[in-house]
Structure 1
Amino acid sequence: MPPERITSLQNPRVKQLVKLRDRRPRDEAGVFLVEGYREVRRALEKKVALQELYFAPDWFLGENEPALIAEAEAAGARLFELSKDAFAKVAYRERPDGLLAVAPQWRRALSDLVLPPEPFLLVVEAIEKPGNLGTILRSADAAGCHAVIVCDPVTDIFNPNVVRASTGVLFSVPLVVEESANVLQWLREKGVKTVATTPSATAPYSDTDLRGPMAVIMGSEQYGLSEFWLKNSDFPVRIPMAGQADSLNVAMATIITLFEAVRQRAAR
């Protein structure tokens, strides 16, 4: 069957897509939005069962979109063609590229993680900004982290800006949301040492052994790590600051620390 065509901004599906920008409607429906060619492509590569795919040829940026649409349809997604104005209504990007999918949410537990003998993990606590969380996921993927654990979340991992900032890496990095106390107990049971980044530490991150089973612990943008993690982590470390600034953006600090670990682990 040809895709259903939607031109009216008052169409119920258009209204529902707009609602899915907010967390409560997403959670009630058990779905989230995936916008963009690269993001939809990565979802399909990871066998995410897209429920619906909305597309608007007037917004396409290249020539590969029809093949991606056909692939999504073959994988079970229901197709809807939108007019240029209707797609602009549902898109959350300033300059959309004409592809928007609806995907099912998932829940993964710590017990679901399959780790190597010397896991390299990232734990983030109470990250507030969706863009930062997405960038952190992207960085963890680039560094080869075996999993990312989000503790006591402030930002919904299915926020559209998390998906966007992660460039679809949300689908490839094993991701768990859990309370800090449960995460600490699990890490200890697994024999994973914890390295907490904090400006109050005396040891530079580059002078600390980041090899072996290890989890880097990063805190929120505004408050840093909670007292819980500062008291219970094995190795507090700091990133030396030469200027007047006393801290870095949490996503940037995460990149610096992760890639020092990558350097050390590769050198071994």
Structure 2
Amino acid sequence: MIKNNGTRDDALPRRGQVKEVTSLANPVIKDIKALSQKKNREASGHFIAEGLKLVIDALDTGWHIDTLIYAISAKGKPLVDKVAARVVAGGGLVLEVSEKVLSSVTHRDNPQSVVGIFRSRWMPLADVRPKKGETWVALDRVRDPGNLGTIIRTADAAGASGVILIGETTDPFALETVRATMGSVFAMPVVRASVADFLKWQRGAGVNVVATHLKGAIDYRKPDFAARPVVLLMGNEQAGLPDELAEAADIRVRIPQQGRADSLNLAIATGIMLFEARRHLLALDDR
């Protein structure tokens, strides 16, 4: 892999080629395995995506693959060979690896046969200028990788424009989160912001911030979601929204419940809000 300062370790294989690797001690494999830790993902600016479908989705949406890894047993499969050729043509590195090496990269005993290494993409908050008909999701301190991945996938399915992560959140580029997005991480812009930065942005963005809150007095189906761009503000799994964010929202709503459960899973609640907020924009294809 290319180091952050742009230099290359001459012991590493060159870009635009295919190399067979069977040793766990290979320096490229060591670098890739290190991406399982958030600090290494942030330092290198790279992340892992597992699965041929995710890799193809990434390529088809314009992402560049830094390194492609596939099991030696997958060599000769038409789709795998086609993807490998695209990576080499784009100047990426392709590694044919043993099952043992692949398992060490994905931390799974039965990994998928293809893994891609990509550069992380963060959209600056200043570049978010919502237009009428757009819906954004803002998540305060989301902690669970599965929840975040599911929300990114659901936001993509509902036609939302992006996800804003407020405060200390789980990493959207963690392997578990990327798996849960089912490829939507490559289609959905992701933004990160402090509480202060989000509130400052909100004041000048011309958006309707709709927050879910246990003290919300308005049924979630009642707001006018069509008049202005919408930001759905969702709280932390355990603590909910802090007062600072809840009080700054334009509307505080609640999802009515009847059963004994005292709360909804964050991803489920966000999905309900997303499809309600975009109901006036969604229609079944009659073809």
The alignment's TM-score, normalised by the length of structure 1, stands at 0.92
CA contact (8 A) 1:153 1:177 kept: no
> Which residue number in structure 1 is paired with residue 3 of structure 2?
none
What is the match of residue 264 of structure 1? 280
Q: Which residue of 2 aligns with 1:235?
A: 251
2:97 aligned to which of 66, 82, 102:
82
Give per-residue Cα distances to partners, 1:219-248, cap 9 Å, x unaligned.
Answer: 111111111111111111111111011111
1:101-142 deviation line (CA, Å, top 9, x unaligned): 111123321222354334311111100011111110011111
In the alignment, does 2:98 pair up with 1:67?
Answer: no
How many residues in Structure 1 have an aligned counterpart in Structure 2?
266
| 1:177, distance to aligned residue in structure 2 (A) | 0.6
Question: Aligned in 2, Cα 1:266/1:168: closer, same or farther, shift over 3 Å?
Answer: closer
Shift of 1:211: 2.0
Question: What runs of 5+ residues in structure 1 fail to find an aligned partner?
Answer: none
Query: Where in structure 2 are there 5+ consecutive unaligned residues?
Result: 1-15
- Are residue 253 (structure 1) and residue 269 (structure 2) matched? yes
Give the structure 1 partner of residue 155 of structure 2. 140
Q: Give 1:94 deviation, angstroms.
A: 4.9
State the identity %: 34
- C-alpha change, 1:17 and 1:95, in structure 2 (3 Å) is same
What RMSD over aligned residues (CA atoms) do the two structures have, in Å? 1.9
Aligned counterpart, 1:218:
234
Matched, 1:197 2:215: no
Structure 1 CA distance for aligned equivalents of residues 148 and 140 of structure 2: 10
Counterpart of 1:166 in structure 2 is: 181
The one-letter code matched in structure 2 to 1:52 is: T
Whole-Å separation in 2 of the counterparts to 1:22 and 1:217: 28
Paired residues for 1:34-183 under 5 Å? 34-58=49-73, 63-113=78-128, 115-183=130-198
Structure 1 residue 22 and structure 2 residue 47: aligned? no
Residue 266 of structure 1 deviates from its aligned partner by: 4.6
1:4-19 map, 5 Å? 4-19=19-34
My pick for the range that moved more, 18-27 or 65-74, is: 65-74
Q: 1:85 to 1:266 in 2, by over 3 A?
A: closer
Counterpart for residue 7 of structure 2: none
- The whole-number CA distance in structure 1 between the counterparts of 2:223 and 2:269 is 15
**Aligned equivalents of 2:47, 2:201: Cα separation in 1:** 29
